C-alpha cells in the first residue's frame, strides 16, 4: 500500500511537523510494508530511503494545488494534517481534495475546530472545517468535543474517527534531570513550560504558590522558556505583570526562570525534573494539547483547567481538572498530591495506564487500521 501524507515536516519548527514525525515513526513500527511519501511544505528536508520519501514541494503562501496533486498520483491513501494557519480559508485545499484520483482514499486529521462564537472571523472557521471534512472520505479528530461540532455541522458520525493525540514515553531519572538543568535536587518542583502568553495564566500559579508555600517552604515554580521571538506587545506586557507579581509577593526564591530557549533534546529532562506539571490555561479552541501528552508521557501528575483542550485528563482523574482562574483549587490539589501518598500513587498508576493507551505506537496502529480499511 502507498500512503501519501500532506503536512509540514522537520526540521521546520511547527507543532504539526513534530506531530507528523512521531506519527510516521509509529506507523513504520506498526506496518513496515507501507510505502510512505510525505508531501511536505517547503522548509522540510528532502529524503529518499527504503519505503520513506520526503518531498518538499509547496508553500502555504502560494498556489499549492498542482504541486500537491501531482505528488499524490498513484497513492492508495492520502492523509492531510489540517491546521487553520497552514491552509488558510480559501479554495486551495478543497481544490486539492477535488483534484485527487478517484480511487485514492482521502483522510484528513482536523487538529483544531474553532466554534463561531469564539472566532474573530465569525462562522468562517467552523464552516471551513466542515467543508474540508465533507470532501474527505474519513475524518480523524482527537477529542469528542471536536466530533460533536462536526456532527452538528452535518458530518456523519460513521465518517469521524476519534483517535487520541499520541504520547511519547519518557522515564529519565529525576535526580539526573535536575542536576543536568541546575535545579535543586530536593525541592518540590512545579513546572509550566513553553512561551509566556496571557492565556496560559502564569499569574494564577503565582497566586497558588503563595498558598502552597504556607505548607512547604521548599516548593519551587520552574518556568523554562520565555517570550516567543514573535511576542506581541500584549505578551510582553503580560510577562512584565507576572514578574512584578513575583517581586511584590516576595517569591523570587521560589521561582526559577532561566529566560532561555531549551532545545528539544532537553524536553524529557525538563518534564522529568518536575514533581507536578501545570496547565492552568483558558482558551476556547477545540484542539488536543501536545504538551499535555508530553507531560503524561513523562509519567508526571498533571493539574489542568477544566476546558476542552484538557478534557482527556478526566480519563486519568477528573479531580485534577480545576475551574479556570481557581488558584486555591490548584493549591489544594498540589498540597494533596504532596501529602496524600495513596492519592499520588493512584494518579501515577492512572497516568501510566493512559500514556500507554495513547502511545504513538498504539495511535499509529489505529491509523494503519483505518488506512487498510476497504
Q: What angle do CA 366, 369, 373 make, to 5 degrees?
A: 145
At 123 the three-state DSSP class reads coil
Antiparallel, parallel or unpaired: β 286-287 and 112-113: antiparallel
For the stretch 17-52, pLDDT in tens is 999 999 999 999 999 999 999 999 999 999 999 899
What residues does 52 pair with on adjacent strands? Answer: 36, 49
Give the domains, in start order, of the chain with CATH numbers: 2-165+360-371 (3.40.50.2000), 174-357 (3.40.50.2000)
Within the chain, strands assigned E span: 2-7, 35-41, 47-49, 52-58, 77-82, 105-110, 112-113, 138-141, 160-162, 188-191, 219-222, 255-256, 276-279, 286-287, 302-305, 321-322
pLDDT in tens, 297-307: 999 999 999 99
| CB proximity list for 207: less than 8 A, separation 6 or greater | 327
pLDDT in single tens digits along all 374 residues of the chain: 999 999 999 999 889 999 999 999 999 999 999 999 999 999 999 999 989 999 999 999 999 999 999 999 999 999 999 999 999 999 999 999 999 999 999 999 999 999 999 999 999 999 999 999 999 999 999 999 999 999 999 999 999 999 999 999 999 999 999 999 999 999 999 999 888 999 999 999 999 999 999 999 999 999 998 888 888 999 999 999 999 999 999 999 999 998 887 888 899 999 999 999 999 999 999 999 999 999 999 999 999 999 999 999 999 999 999 999 999 999 999 999 999 999 999 999 999 999 999 999 999 999 999 999 85
Helix H or strand E segment including 152:
helix 144-152
276 grid coordinates: 507536578
How many Cα atoms are found within 13 Å in the side-chain-facing hemisphere of 49? 5
Query: By the 8 A CB rule, do 221 and 255 touch?
Result: yes
Amino acid at each position: 500500500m502507498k500512503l501519501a501524507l500532506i503536512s509540514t515536516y522537520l526540521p521546520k519548527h511547527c507543532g504539526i511537523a513534530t506531530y507528523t514525525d512521531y506519527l510516521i515513526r509509529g506507523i513504520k513500527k506498526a506496518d513496515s510494508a507501507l510505502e510512505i511519501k510525505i508531501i511536505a511544505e517547503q522548509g522540510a528536508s528532502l529524503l529518499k530511503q527504503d519505503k520513506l520519501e520526503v518531498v518538499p514541494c509547496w508553500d502555504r503562501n502560494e498556489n499549492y494545488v498542482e504541486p500537491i496533486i501531482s505528488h499524490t498520483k498513484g497513492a492508495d491513501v492520502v492523509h492531510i494534517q489540517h491546521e487553520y494557519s497552514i491552509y488558510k480559508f480559501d479554495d486551495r485545499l478543497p481544490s486539492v481534495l477535488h483534484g485527487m484520483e478517484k480511487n485514492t482514499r482521502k483522510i484528513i486529521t482536523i487538529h483544531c475546530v474553532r466554534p463561531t462564537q469564539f472566532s474573530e472571523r465569525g462562522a468562517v472557521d467552523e464552516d471551513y472545517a466542515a467543508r474540508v471534512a465533507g470532501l474527505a472520505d474519513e475524518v480523524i479528530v482527537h477529542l469528542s468535543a471536536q466530533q460533536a461540532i462536526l456532527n452538528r455541522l452535518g458530518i456523519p458520525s460513521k465518517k469521524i474517527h476519534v483517535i487520541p493525540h499520541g504520547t511519547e514515553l519518557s522515564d529519565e531519572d529525576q535526580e539526573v534531570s535536575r542536576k543536568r538543568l541546575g535545579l535543586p535536587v530536593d525541592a518540590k518542583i512545579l513546572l509550566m513550560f513553553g512561551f509566556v502568553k496571557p492565556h496560559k495564566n502564569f499569574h494564577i500559579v503565582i497566586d497558588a504558590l503563595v498558598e502552597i508555600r504556607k505548607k512547604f517552604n521548599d516548593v519551587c515554580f520552574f518556568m523554562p522558556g520565555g517570550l516567543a521571538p514573535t511576542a506581541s506587545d500584549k505578551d510582553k506586557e503580560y510577562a512584565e505583570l507576572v514578574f512584578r507579581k513575583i517581586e511584590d509577593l516576595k517569591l523570587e526564591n521560589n521561582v526559577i526562570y532561566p529566560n532561555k530557549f531549551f532545545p528539544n533534546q532537553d524536553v524529557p529532562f525538563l518534564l522529568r525534573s518536575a514533581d507536578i506539571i501545570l496547565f492552568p490555561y483558558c482558551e476556547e479552541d477545540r484542539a488536543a494539547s501536545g504538551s499535555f501528552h508530553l507531560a503524561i508521557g513523562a509519567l508526571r501528575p498533571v493539574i489542568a483547567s477544566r476546558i476542552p483542550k484538557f478534557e482527556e485528563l478526566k480519563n486519568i482523574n477528573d479531580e485534577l481538572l480545576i475551574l479556570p482562574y481557581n488558584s486555591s483549587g490548584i493549591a489544594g490539589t498540589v498540597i494533596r498530591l504532596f501529602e496524600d501518598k495513596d492519592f499520588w500513587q493512584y494518579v501515577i498508576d492512572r497516568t501510566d495506564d493512559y500514556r500507554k493507551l495513547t502511545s504513538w505506537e498504539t495511535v499509529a496502529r489505529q491509523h494503519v487500521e483505518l488506512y487498510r480499511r476497504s
